[in-house]
Structure 1
Amino acid sequence: MGLRNLDGASITGCKERWLSPRDIASERRFSIAIVLRSCLAESHQLSATAAADVDVDSLQLTPFTGGDTRFVIAQTLEIAERAAMQGAIDHSEAEWIEMTCRAAETLDAPHITCVHVDYKTGNLCLTETRNGYRVSDLFDFHEARFSNGTQDLLRHAYSFIDFDMSCAHEFVRSTLAHGGMPFRIDELMRLFVINDRIKIWEYFTQPEEAPVIPAGLRFRDWANHYLESGVFKV
């Protein structure tokens, strides 16, 4: 779906209204969190009998060998290996990632849903109506798959953890309370946070990328910032 076809305004993704979540007034943040919760609950009604990759053009499903958790583990270890090869993580961090992956091997989601993976304000458009906001468009499905829906909580919550913890908590809490996640959140969250953060870390520490990660910051400390925030504990 191209941006030219969108009828709303993206909070972070369209030139017409380029706002970071920090620029959103606090009273609007809660309203938007509720709207995103509702959209997520609706999209997660689309389910499958097994975890699978999805071709967004043909809608063809390719099941993951070994299930969803093993797919996430394999992806995490592959990206961590690349990060280690380019010196972005050290040996102790690589071991920490591997131990986290192994601890989650026997866990899996009892319910598989359509997961966006990059679900955040920058990848959707909001339209203001007489009754508040609604999500009018959702885009950037390059990571979408049928998987554990917990993963769709991550990136929107991250965007508020550094400066509005209450909004991050509200988004996660209300999504769980209103049926967006039909299973416990804490079983696989450590794996999912590390999987998500190592993708970002590996990409932005590539030699050809402009340096954006502060000098001296270690991956484990950065990932633990989110893990220890308390937002993902219920």
Structure 2
Amino acid sequence: MTTRAYSARLGDISDAQFQQALDRLDLGELVGATAVPFGLFGQNVFLTTSRGEFIFRGAQHGDWQFAKEVFFARLLAERTAAPVAWPQWLETSPEIFGWPYIVAPRLPGQPLADPAVIAGLSADDRWQIAWAQGETLAALQALTWAAAGDFDLATGDIVPFEGGHIGHLVREVRKLVADADGSGSLTPEDRAWIEGVLHQAALVRDSGPAVYLHNDFSLNNVLAQRHDGAWAITGVVDLMTSTFGGGEADLCRQAANYLDQDPALTSALIGAYRGAGGGGPDAQSRAPLYVVYERLLLWEYFTRPPERAGWTAGKTFSGWARRNVERLTALL
């Protein structure tokens, strides 16, 4: 019996444990198991069996996370043409591993979280992938809900945000400001600039239907494949942060990342998204709040002590994020 540590999060797992899980689902005999080297949390293992290729996701205290991921994966599979893994088999019993887990079919394509994959792309490849991302985001957002909200484990349903998506984001920004203040990573000028954005946001209302939001829609969470010379997104993964809200909010992370690399990629992403029917009216009035929230999420996380990320050195939040707010607001 082979036992190995697949990650710090998962610890030691034996082949016999994986086989027990596979037997419960009638997914064949285990041929091999390989740790997935991407992702912050070390939750994933690729399983090859006599029945095919699968991904195993496990985590201590994963009850809420996995119930939420399965909830959104089911909706996306049933109501959209977006490429998500389905079916997903959720086991909440700790009998085999000591914690809950999911098994799902492995999606095709190359992980764009892999720096080696990105390094091998030509300029035209990158443009095609940016365009495909925009189309995929619009496909995801074919999933709509009656009101902006988030998954609630107790009810197994979506609970609306008080004050809608705008009200929710204003509260979240204030929480992030308080957390960032605790680590001393905001200047008085940063706080004044953020307050100005929040003041303007208070005058804005949600517009259009609440649509699906991944909330970390970036290269790190998509798979892509080239067929007959054209790239397509073949998988969207890690649905833990999913909610419903204003569609353009999900453009912000990847659009800002592309601005730092090549603004033409940002234009491709947004153009494809719009061309495929994504987004609603008057996006410019909501864009500053969307961008500040997304940028502040990253800033607060990567400026936490004791080790501040190197890319934040010598920067202030407003100095770093203001350009993104101005450029993306203009593009939207």
TM-score, normalization: structure 1? 0.88
Q: What is the correspondence of 1:31-110 to structure 2 with a 5 Å cutoff?
A: 31-54=128-151, 60-107=157-204, 108-110=206-208
Tell me the equivalent position of 2:36.
none
TM-score, normalization: structure 2? 0.63
> Higher strand fraction: Structure 1 or Structure 2?
2
Q: How many Å apart are 1:181 and its aligned residue? A: 1.1
Tell me the equivalent position of 1:173.
271
* Structure 2 residue 110 is the aligned partner of structure 1 residue 9: yes
Unaligned runs of 5+ in 1: none
The one-letter code of the counterpart of 2:276 is: H
**Structure 2 CA distance for partners of 1:122 and 1:142, relative to 1, 3 Å:** same
Q: How many Å apart are 1:221 and its aligned residue? A: 0.6
Q: Measure the CA separation in 1 of the matches of 2:283 and 2:45.
A: 33
**Structure 2 CA distance for partners of 1:222 and 1:202, relative to 1, 3 Å:** same
Q: Measure the CA separation in 1 of the matches of 2:156 and 2:121.
A: 35
The one-letter code of the counterpart of 1:34 is: W
**Structure 2 CA distance for partners of 1:112 and 1:95, relative to 1, 3 Å:** same
Q: What is the correspondence of 1:106-185 to structure 2 with a 5 Å cutoff?
A: 106-107=203-204, 108-130=206-228, 132-185=230-283
| Cα shift readout 1:130-149 (whole Å, capped 9, x = no counterpart) | 36233222112222100111
| Cα shift readout 1:164-189 (whole Å, capped 9, x = no counterpart) | 11111121123123311132321111
* Structure 2 residue 292 is the aligned partner of structure 1 residue 228: no
Determine which structure has greater relative contact order: mean sequence separation of CA pairs < 8 Å that are 6+ residues apart, divided by chain length. Answer: 1
Structure 1: which 4+ aligned runs deviate by more than 6 Å?
none
Q: 180-189 vs 110-119, which deviates more? A: 180-189
RMSD: 2.4
Tell me the equivalent position of 2:64.
none
**8 Å contact kept, 2:145–2:211:** yes
Q: Measure the CA separation in 2 of the matches of 1:130 and 1:55.
A: 43
Q: Measure the CA separation in 2 of the matches of 1:31 and 1:151.
A: 22
The one-letter code of the counterpart of 2:109 is: G
State the number of aligned residues.
230
**8 Å contact kept, 1:79–1:198:** yes
Corresponding residue to 1:203 among 293, 301, 308: 301
- Larger CA Rg, structure 1 vs 2: 2
**8 Å contact kept, 1:118–1:143:** yes
| Cα shift readout 1:79-118 (whole Å, capped 9, x = no counterpart) | 0111112210022311221221121123222221011111
Unaligned runs of 5+ in 2: 1-42, 47-54, 56-105
**8 Å contact kept, 1:185–1:232:** no
Tell me the equivalent position of 2:87.
none
